[in-house]
Amino acid sequence: MELRALGATGIMISALGLGTVKLGRDQQVKYPRGFTIPDDHAVRELLALAWDLGINLIDTAPAYGNSEERLGQLLPRTQDWKLITKVGEAFADGRSAFDFSAAATRTSVERSLQRLRRDSIDVVLVHSDGNDMAIIQEQETLGALDELKQRGLVRAYGMSTKTRAGGIWVAQHCDVVMATRNLDDDSDVPVIAAARQANAGVLVKKGLQSGHADRAHGGAGVEAAIRCVFSTPGVTSMTVGTIDRAHLRENVEITERVLAQLDRTPIGERQ
């Protein structure tokens, strides 16, 4: 799995990242079928396989139940994993709560550092509630993240956006933007283009449409979905959430095949 520069951050990440919602949360999720949260042994095996396959990027969040705590306990300390977590949203008692104040942002990062057992976090993203521009213009979240970056607690920051306007602003003013790109949603292509122009990192979410891209669930297929994402100029990495080792291995094999094919294809001819 090739490593790619995350914009101008100096952080090198794998083209495929491992999403970890399923390590800590099984309520109010949108996957096509139910699942059981894996035990510690299964998580260790999943993480070991991901590392062996060349994945060095993990995406987590306080909104993912106890995912952060489990990663802090189960990730080998001898391996140089790059971690993404988030601020702004917490999930408890079956519901999400949002707080974008500076105080909540600082508390959230400090708590994530403790849970993940880290001295610093590679990337912290604002977990948007859908009101991107209100968060940007009216809240203190990004300013607090910049302060934490200056203190060395955060290496890079940005937002997991939900609107085109918010995504473009973040791409132009922050280190990293997490945008949506899949076969059924090209609304963030201008966001990715803006990030490419600004040399900001681009992390793609929902590339496999929470599992619905699979032909078994009526989609166009995983390979077509992955090709769609990486055919979009400016994409750094795509995060895919799975607890199935066979699916993880398959996703990596497909990604490597697609990237090799795209390397031989001029940008203007990619589809």
DSSP state letter for 221: -
Nearest to 222 by CA among 263, 245, 253: 253
Catalytic-residue membership of 31: no
Handedness of CA 269, 178, 24, 55 (dihedral sign): positive
The answer to whether 122 and 82 have CB atoms below 8 angstroms apart is yes
d(CA 86, CA 100): 11
DSSP H or E run through 82 = strand 82-87
- Among residues 9, 64, 67, 234, which one is catalytic? 64
d(CA 81, CA 239): 14
Alpha helices in 139-214 (DSSP H): 141-150, 164-173, 189-198
User: Under 8 Å CB-to-CB from 205, ≥6 apart: which residues?
Assistant: 160, 178, 179, 180, 238, 239
Nearest to 85 by CA among 118, 54, 39: 118
d(CA 193, CA 210): 24
* Residues classed as catalytic: 64
